Chain A
Amino acid sequence: MTVIVKFFANVKKLIGKDEITLNLAPSRHYRIRDILQEIAEHQNKDISPFFTKEQGIHLRTVRVVLNGRIIYSLDSLEATVQDGDRIAIFPLLAGG
């Protein structure tokens, strides 16, 4: 299955790309947690400012959006990711 991940602002700078396409095994059940793990492992960059790997992956300073919805209002890190889904990753910080 195919999932498109877009990066914004500081995350984009760190990863060095606007977006990546992940080609994943169709048989496995993927959650947001697994996708972030994939990114952390395969991007070959030091992305510790945004992800750390204690107990699997741990979200620190990013906001993850799955198909236009922030994952808090879904199942957060446990939300299921399906073929054709679009994920966007932003720096967490916002507000006035």
Chain B
Amino acid sequence: MSGYWGKVLRVDLTEGKITIDSLPEEWRKAYIGGTGLSAKILYDEVPAGADPLGPENLFIFSVGPFQGGSKVLGSGRFTVCAKSPLTGIFGESLGGGYNAEEFKKAGFDALVVKGKSQKPVYLWIHDGEAELKDASHLWGKTDTFETEDAIKDELGDRKVQVAPIGPAAENLVRYAGLICNYGHGCAGRTGMGTVMGSKNLKAIAFRGTQTVPIARPEELEKLKKELLAIAKDADFTKANRELGQAMAVVPREENGLLPMKNFLLDRWPDGAKKLGAGEGQDFNSVLKPKPDACSNCIMGCHRRVTISKDKYAMDSYGPEYETLGMIGSDCLIDNLLAVNKANELCNRYSLDTIEFGGICAFAMEAYEAGKITKDDLGGIELKWGDADAMLALLEKIAKREGDVPRILGEGMRVAAEKLGVSDPLHVNGAVVPAHDPRAFLSMAVATATSMKGASHLHGFPEAIELGVTFPETGLKELREPLDPHSPTHKGLAAAKFQDRMAVCNSVIFCFFYEFSGLDFTRLTGFLNAITGWDILPQELLKTGERIINLMNMFNIKHGMKPSRDYQLPKRFLTPHPKGGAANVEMPFDDMLNEYYSVRDWPNGVPSQGKLKELGLDFCL
């Protein structure tokens, strides 16, 4: 067997039992690994109606065939999946840093945790073995950075990598993530850290020294050389290394993608300059960041930042585009040092920055409308643009102090219901991230039909509106770039790019490399060289389709009604009068219908024929 160990580590926290399952070949071929494999396990094993924070829910940490041996560019990423406590449907988050490689090298393809431990524990996985260790001395006391330090010290090896949770996850804030490698590898979305918190699982620690076998090493080396030659000279690689993702703030302010004032405003050029990286912008001069890369990456878009002797002093990683957009511009906060500090605090507490930023903007709008008062917030005057008010709210939400901050910690859907706010900007409970769907119409369909609630990374059809075409689909419509402001073929693009992203998150690689030469044909070549398979890009795309269909069936099993739930908040159906996406009409229903027809999902539900065609008969 190549590219895999064929081993799934199973941990039952209620019983304190650890076992190892095999990973059969038909599952490897049908679901690959990462998100795909997790979808299969979650569909099979989490009973309908299971409480996401109850012992029946599973928590899955997994990697794919690209990890642990191939060193393909962009392969330093892992996925975590569970039924989400934020959305009640499929939960998924991806993280970078160093954990993906370390976990795979420890001898497993996936870790599946069930039950609930009586007392706080952490799981220590090393070279084919695993043990549960007491974490009572850490629970309630350490943030994610301190947890990582304490575990490394305790195990006496600084090379150990750790995936910890912080206080927000222990306190069951519904959007807490795993914050690894001191903020370098964050898997923030959909409350996967909260699921760990509900299981009394404080951290997972990894150390591995084994390299997974590669089926056709010479072929792999040749493909890697080709990709390296393209990727290292690609302008996107250079820009991403030099400026990091903060480079996107100003251009996206101009093209209308950046959220401003809870998506109400259409221009904010001066503020964007204070947050962005590039000529005449403040990010690099104020934060003096240094590029840092996940394992197996030459781009290094992450930013190491140290700010000393300042009210907002910190020493960690700087904010990326999504954080600058959600905590910065969406709240009209142009104080970069404060946004940078908020990013560090979210990481220490293990709060998702996208979700927190969206909730903060939501609360600022509710405060302005008088639906929340200063008294409700323990004295915080939550006005637009007030950086210190934002930081104070962050503390209260993470620590669950006060009734309204506690409600805000339940996520936007619950908060809107309890506070009487109409049209909250979430899809199925997850806030709409810093990609205003009015600017790139494909994103309107992809955001509404994301299987994990609003996400910019559940499919990224925006890519084809930025020049990344998809000829491997065999569809002439996707051979040429599409106009971002035209609805033509957007349902089609959303479906196919979701399938593509499902593959990306299952083999696993960082999708930034799609902008630097890693196209789908090359990706299939890597997979074949690693595993020894001989599949075609079209077959791999079917696998992606299978995974998305299975995720949808998971959602339906857990109470989702697609025709009601795969929708966009109404605010996005009215175009901005000004800005880069001024007056762009969005025929949302037409695009959605095209999407359903491409998918063969009448009213959003996979047809029997489709399920059979994809080998998902067990869902019937």
Contacts and interface: CB of A to CB of B under 8 A. Distances in A.
B254 A10 contact: yes
B465 interface: yes
A6 B251 CA distance: 19
Interface residues on A, range: 20 to 34
- Of listed A65, A86, A88, A94, residue having the most chain B CB within 10 A: A94
Contacts, number: 98
Given A9-B580, A93-B248, A95-B245, A69 B469 contact: yes
Given A65-B469, A96-B321, A88 B481 contact: yes
Interface stretch (B64-72, B111-119, B512-520, B602-610): B512-520
B271 to A, nearest CB: 18
B384 interface: no
Contacts of A92: 235-236, 239
B481 A8 contact: yes
Interface string B242-259: 000101100110110000
From A60, A65, A69, A95, residue with most partner B Cβ within 10 Å: A95
A6 B467 CA distance: 11
A70 interface: yes
Contacts of A76: 233
B389 to A, nearest CB: 28
Interface string A18-36: 0000000000000000000
Nearest to B463: A94
A73 B467 contact: no
A72 B230 contact: yes
A95 B515 contact: yes
Interface string A43-83: 00000000000000001111111001110110010000000
B460 interface: yes
A13 B460 CA distance: 24
Q: How large is the interface on B (under 10, 10 to 19, 20 to 34, 35 or more residues)?
A: 35 or more
B479 A10 contact: no
Indicate the member of B301, B433, B466, B471 with the most A CB atoms within 10 Å. Answer: B466
Contacts of B252: 93
A10 B515 contact: no
Contacts of B471: 68-69
Most chain B beta carbons < 10 A, residue from A60, A68, A88, A90:
A68
Among B235, B471, B516, max chain A CB count under 10 A is at: B235
A68 B481 contact: yes
Contacts of A60: 235
A15 to B, nearest CB: 15
A8 B240 contact: no
B255 A59 contact: no
A41 B294 CA distance: 41
A32 B431 CA distance: 42
A72 B248 CA distance: 20
B468 interface: yes
A9 B240 CA distance: 20
A13 B582 CA distance: 12
A63 B248 contact: no
B82 to A, nearest CB: 22
A62 B467 CA distance: 10
B435 A10 contact: no
Contact of A9 (B235, B480, B484): B484
B465 A8 contact: yes
Contact of A10 (B236, B251, B456): B251
B457 A96 contact: yes
Nearest to B254: A10
B483 interface: yes
A64 B479 CA distance: 14
B322 interface: yes
A93 B255 CA distance: 11
A72 B467 contact: no
B230 A94 contact: no
B251 A93 contact: yes
A94 B129 CA distance: 41
Q: Across chains A and B, which 4 residue pairs bring their CB atoms closest together, nearest first?
A: A68-B469, A90-B467, A65-B467, A72-B234
Interface of A: 6, 8-10, 13, 59-65, 68-70, 72-73, 76, 86, 88, 90-96
23 contacts: A8-B466, A8-B484, A60-B235, A61-B251, A62-B235, A63-B236, A63-B466, A63-B467, A63-B515, A70-B467, A70-B468, A72-B231, A72-B516, A73-B230, A73-B519, A88-B467, A88-B481, A90-B467, A90-B481, A94-B462, A94-B463, A95-B301, A96-B456
